[in-house]
Amino acid sequence: METSLKMLFLTLAITLLSKQCICVNSGFTFVLLENDEPAKEWWQTASLYQIYPRSFKDSNGDGIGDLNGITEQLEYLKEIGVSATWLSPIFRSPMKDFGYDISDFYDIQPEYGTLGDFDKLIAEAQSLNIKIILDFVPNHSSDQNAWFIKSVNKVPGFEDFYTWHPGYADANDPSKRLPPTNWISVFRKSAWQWNEQRGEFYLHQFLAAQPDLNYRNPKVVDEMKNVLRFWLDRGVSGFRIDAVPFLFEIKADEEGQFPNEPHSGDTNDPDDYGYLKHIFTYDQLETIDMVYQWREVLEEHRRQNGGEARIMLTESYSPLNIVAQYYGNSTHNGSHVPFNFQIISRIWNESNAYDYIACIDDFMKIVPKNQVANWVVGNHDQHRVGSRLGTDRIDAINMIILTLPGISISYNGEEIGMTDQWLSWNDTVDPAACNSNPSIYTQFSRDPERTPFQWNDKRNGGFSTAPKTWLPVADNYKEVNAQKEENDENSHLKVYKKLKQLRKEAVFQNGDTKYMALTQQVVAIARYFEGEPLYITVANIGPFKETADLTEIGINPTETLTYHIVGVSSKHTINEQITSNQIVLQPFESFILRGKTDVNQLESFEYFQYSVADF
Ligand code: GLC
């Protein structure tokens, strides 16, 4: 025993000295690189891709996307360099909020397939080294969930699974009850719904068909952890956690009363969620601890089963000081990927390069040491990049998120530059819009960004053979589709694929980063790493021709730089050499330049510089 321990230490010492160390730490393996930085875990430089299953690929001709459709398209995911895909909810649901209203957390929605289809998807994805991440919707269930029905009936153990309150008698009409507070639901109007059977109101921060689970009840906390364990056991690599800031509401006082929320002054529409300041129903302190507890469930699973990290991505549009806490602290591990929505919430058509850099830098500043940044520019709740920021900026945005350090997250269709489809009030199905009225629904509708994926120029854009699809395919599918872009020499898809290829290089995996606004319109991001080529993303995000000086970001004027990847509108050709540091960029032109490493020169330059050691 003693001898074998000595041998172990000796081997460890030798490998450490040779700097090719493999340390075995509580069952996990991590490798030290030449520069003594531990090798990154798979997720730390991952390219994540969100699939909206209802709209991705319909395999059985019913007009609705499904699991077998996703399985059919795994090769496509592989080709576009996806390391893991997170699927919007696929669980049993009456589909009032298209799957975010779950009636059985342990089963698959029949129109999407079966548990068998799910297992097949996991197995085939694994064989291609693509990880599957599920959407975990912990804040609420469907009102058709057995738990809710039991709670309505006060079945022992389920009485307090949801937040119930008798409300108050209406002084003007004693036969009527008034809700306990003025709280408003995200989808408009009171967040309290009267339940005739139980004779009480229940809380719903989203639709009335989505009652809020009561996280002050330990039974709820336990049950939801079991949900995580169930899917972990079936082979998922993690969860995107939905609507995290809504988990807790303020504790009721001794008399069981909740306080009203103050008016925000932001809108005069009393039904609008923005009418109140949500100080008692959003970002309550207990939320962060719940995130830490879920992380522990992931860690526990890994301790018991080994393998690579299972990760969590957390959805919160909260201020950055709160998002920062999701990452964890010195005593708790937290979310691996607290979604960074800075570009979504702060970048508009009018934004200049300084705004872009401020967004990037503000997030970089909250990333704790040993954690990584992440970059989200779209999802099923946000208008598409090409519609929000204009189709001219599609390549620039993809270049920015794919060359910054950390994790990139693309929403399906962004790689081919899909845009929003306008839908009439009659064709609108999103409850966020349907709960409003024909004159304002477009402000709320999320249908435009959820239309079916455009695979080719055939019927329904190749998404489905059905006579009618659940949402219409966007009008531009003949010009914007994956097949056409694959065949075109110059397309958003080609640019995206080249960027994904580039991301695999050591400099993007482990290198340092420097970014700055070179002019009012030109964003520059330099990535460099000792002994590796230097890459600079240069993006003119504005509508005017600009001249930018690369020496500003620390590039040696004698450096030889070539165009390595160019956006679709650029007239430059690959490998063409840059002849001057004064580069002229046409409106919205973007490209990636490649040069020799000049690490010292870059490092002497202080502005917005981050090194791997900072994370
Ligand atoms: C999240 C989802 C959104 C859903 C809501 C309620 O914000 O992204 O689509 O409607 O939660 O679950």
How far away, in angstroms, is 441 Cα from ligand 1 center?
17
Question: Which atom of ligand 1 is the closest one to the Cα of 139?
Answer: 12
Contact 332, 356 (CB under 8 A): no
pLDDT at 580: 80
pLDDT at 606: 53
- What amino acid occupies position 261? E
How far away, in angstroms, is 542 Cα from ligand 1 center?
32
| pLDDT of residue 2 exceeding 70 | no
Question: Annotated active-site positions, please?
Answer: 242, 315
Pairing relationship of beta strands 22-25 and 28-31 according to DSSP bridges? antiparallel
Nearest C-alpha to atom 12 of ligand 1 is from which residue? 100
What HEC string does 65-106 produce? CCHHHHHHCHHHHHHCCCCEEEECCCEECCCCCCCCCCCEEE
With DSSP H G I counted as helix, E B as strand and the rest as coil, what are the percentages for the chain, rounded to 5?
A: 35, 20, 50
Nearest C-alpha to atom 6 of ligand 1 is from which residue? 100
Its pTM stands at 0.92
Percent of the chain residues topping a pLDDT of 70: 90
Q: Give the tens place of pLDDT for each residue, 261-302.
A: 999 999 999 999 999 999 999 999 999 999 999 999 999 999
How far away, in angstroms, is 118 Cα from ligand 1 center?
22
Question: Which atom of ligand 1 is the closest one to the Cα of 97?
Answer: 10
Confidence tier at 231 by pLDDT (50, 70, 90): very high
Question: Which atom of ligand 1 is the closest one to the Cα of 431?
Answer: 10
Beta strands in 210-302 (DSSP E): 238-241
| pLDDT of residue 246 exceeding 70 | yes
Edge-to-edge strand list for the sheet holding 131-136? 337-338, 311-314, 238-241, 131-136, 84-87, 47-51, 407-411, 374-376
pLDDT at 107: 98
How far away, in angstroms, is 51 Cα from ligand 1 center?
14
Q: Give the tens place of pLDDT for each residue, 427-438.
A: 999 999 999 999
Q: Give the tens place of pLDDT for each residue, 476-513.
A: 999 999 999 999 999 999 999 999 999 999 999 999 99
Contact 280, 259 (CB under 8 A): yes
| pLDDT of residue 605 exceeding 60 | no
How far away, in angstroms, is 537 Cα from ligand 1 center?
33
Confidence tier at 602 by pLDDT (50, 70, 90): low
Distance separating alpha carbons of residues 480 and 29, to the nearest angstrom: 44
Contacts of 265 (CB under 8 A, 6+ apart): none
Residues lining ligand 1, Cβ inside 6 A:
97, 100, 137, 206, 242-243, 315, 380-381
Longest dimension (CA), the chain: 87
Distance separating alpha carbons of residues 411 and 263, to the nearest angstrom: 34
Burial class (CB in 10 A: 0-12, 13-18, 19+), 15: middle
Pairing relationship of beta strands 374-376 and 337-338 according to DSSP bridges? unpaired
From residue 141, alpha-carbon distances to 159, 203, 609 in Å are 15, 12, 44
Substitution site in 100, 210, 213, 239 for ligand 1 pocket (most atoms within 8 Å of beta carbon): 100
How far away, in angstroms, is 520 Cα from ligand 1 center?
36
Strand partners, 595: 534
With CA atoms as reference, report the closest residue to 406 among 447, 461, 367: 367
Confidence tier at 111 by pLDDT (50, 70, 90): very high
Substitution site in 97, 145, 435 for ligand 1 pocket (most atoms within 8 Å of beta carbon): 97
Contact 592, 496 (CB under 8 A): no
Nearest C-alpha to atom 7 of ligand 1 is from which residue? 243
pLDDT at 19: 31
| pLDDT of residue 13 exceeding 50 | no
Q: Give the tens place of pLDDT for each residue, 44-89.
A: 999 999 999 999 999 999 999 999 999 999 999 999 999 999 999 9
Percent of the chain residues topping a pLDDT of 90: 86
Q: Give the tens place of pLDDT for each residue, 141-187.
A: 999 999 999 999 999 999 999 999 999 999 999 889 999 999 999 99
